[in-house]
Chains A and B, each alone.
Chain A
Amino acid sequence: MQATIEQIVGRYARFEIDGRAQRVYFEEAGQGIPLVCAHTAGSDGRQWRHVLNDPEITRDFRVLAFDMPWHGKSFPPAGFETEAYRLTARGFMNIIRAFNAALGLEQPVFMGCSIGGRIVLDLAYHHADEFRALIGLQCSDHHVPWYDSTWLTRPDVHGGEVCAAVVSGMMAPQSPSVTVQETLWTYKQSGPGVFRGDL
């Protein structure tokens, strides 16, 4: 059987974020207006696979989906083993802006989901002139932890299993089972403490 080769191309970019060397994996497809996509907490850029494979979008947009450091195929920075991962709004903005600068993207559209959606308000407030549009999906202006998130990273509970099980309740019961399970798989593959560190 002949393979179907998708139009998505994945590459690594090496650049600094906040003075630390990073090797960031990203996937892209299409041409035209740059559209930078940021994934949710504890997941990776695979979340954008259907956008990257949508010819109606990639006809006019150069879609780029990166794995944040610590996520997906991007490594944590050197020395990570002695620190607890903790994302801040400022740090998240710096990742996005460093990615845009490193790839020479001028005034891209930025689209993010969940934490990636929440950050659009910070980007709009602090750096609106660097973007031509900001799109927040499943976002909110402020998030208050409502349960004890230490359950997400402790040695006697499987982090991948519990993170995915938590997230399973954030998808509508009408969602197709195949895509639900694919999405949960990325959470099961997330590194220890990463989902919690993103929240």
Chain B
Amino acid sequence: MGMEATPPARSPREAALRARLLKLAEVANQDAALTDRGRFVTLEIQVVIDSCGFFIRLADGRVAGIDEGPHRMRPCAFIVAGAAEAWDKFWTPVPPPWYHDLFAMNKKGVLTIEGNLHPFMANLQYFKDLLALPRRIATG
């Protein structure tokens, strides 16, 4: 039985966001300060853009791989989920207020962070910086 196909992007914006996230490893693994900060992080997290999940495998702070979902019931440490509109704003070079930070978006109610939050909080700056990296990845 093959894996369930990834649902098509519902908008060009969502497609562009997916493409940027899939390039995360290229940027993250070249950032020595980031990978050093995350050197104790070896786990898998799920980032959700609208209804599409991305399973990001992290090994010693480096991005070891990204699998596009859905992969239902696949375990992961925690899930960071938001609408395409929220990620789009978060990933602009200078984000607007409330969209500059994962905590700020969570407080505003446009981003959920659920699961085992211990590794997230123990490595909070790492995860904030890692998930903000698509700001450096050009659209398209």
Residue of A nearest to B135 (CB): A173
**Interfacial residues of chain B within 88-140, with CB under 8 A of chain A in the complex:** 94-95, 97, 100-104, 106-107, 117-118, 121-122, 124-125, 128
What total of A-B pairs shows CB separation below 8 Å?
A: 40
CB distance B124 to A172 under 8 Å?
no
The answer to whether A172 touches B100, judged by C-beta atoms less than 8 angstroms apart, is yes
User: Within the complex, which residue of A156, A166, A174 is in contact with B124, where a contact is CB–CB below 8 Å?
Assistant: A166
Encode A165-176 as 1/0 by CB contact (under 8 A) with B.
110111011100
Q: Mark A148-186, 1 if CB is under 8 A from B, else 0.
A: 000100001110011011101110111000000000000
- CB of B100 within 8 A of CB of A162, answer no
A169 adjacent to B122 (CB under 8 Å):
no
Q: CB distance B101 to A168 under 8 Å?
A: yes
Number of B residues near A (Cβ < 8 Å) is 17
Residue A80 CB within 8 A of the other chain: no
- Within 8 Å CB of B125, what residues of A? 161, 164-165, 168
Closest chain B residue, CB of each to CB of A158: B122
From residue A159, how far is it (CB to closest CB) to chain B in Å?
11
- In angstroms, Cα B120 to Cα A156, docked, is 12
User: Cβ of A146 < 8 Å from any Cβ of B?
Assistant: yes
Decide if A165 touches B128 in the complex (CB within 8 Å). yes
For B95, give its contact among A165, A170, A173 (CB under 8 Å). A173
The residues of A that contact B94 with a CB separation of less than 8 Å are 173-174
> Whose C-beta in chain A lies nearest to the C-beta of B97?
A172
A173 with B128, Cβ < 8 A, contacts A158-B122, A162-B121, A162-B122 known: no
Question: A173 near B100 (CB under 8 angstroms)?
Answer: yes
Report Cα–Cα, A110/B44, bound state, in Å: 49
Residues of B contacting A172 with CB < 8 Å? 97, 100
A147 interface hit (Cβ, 8 Å): yes
Which of A158, A168, A172 has the most chain B CB atoms closer than 10 A to its own CB? A168
Taking a contact as CB atoms closer than 8 A, the residue among B95, B101, B102, B121 that contacts A157 in the complex is B121
CB contact under 8 A between A156 and B101, given known A168-B128, A173-B94, A173-B95: no
Q: How far is it, in angstroms, between the C-alpha of A151 and the C-alpha of B107 when the chains are bound? A: 16
Contact, CB under 8 Å: B118 / A156: yes
Which residues on A sit within 8 Å (CB–CB) of B107? 146-147
CA distance A166 to B106 in the complex (A): 12
Residues of A within 8 A of B (CB): 146-147, 151, 156-158, 161-162, 164-166, 168-170, 172-174
30 contacts between A and B (CB under 8 A): A146-B107, A147-B107, A156-B118, A156-B122, A157-B118, A157-B121, A157-B122, A158-B122, A161-B124, A161-B125, A162-B121, A162-B122, A162-B124, A164-B125, A165-B124, A165-B125, A166-B103, A168-B101, A168-B125, A168-B128, A169-B100, A169-B101, A169-B103, A169-B104, A169-B128, A172-B97, A173-B94, A173-B95, A173-B100, A174-B94
**Given A151-B121, A156-B118, A165-B125, 15 more pairs with CB closer than 8 A:** A146-B107, A147-B106, A157-B122, A158-B122, A161-B125, A162-B121, A164-B125, A165-B124, A165-B128, A169-B104, A170-B101, A172-B100, A173-B95, A173-B100, A174-B94
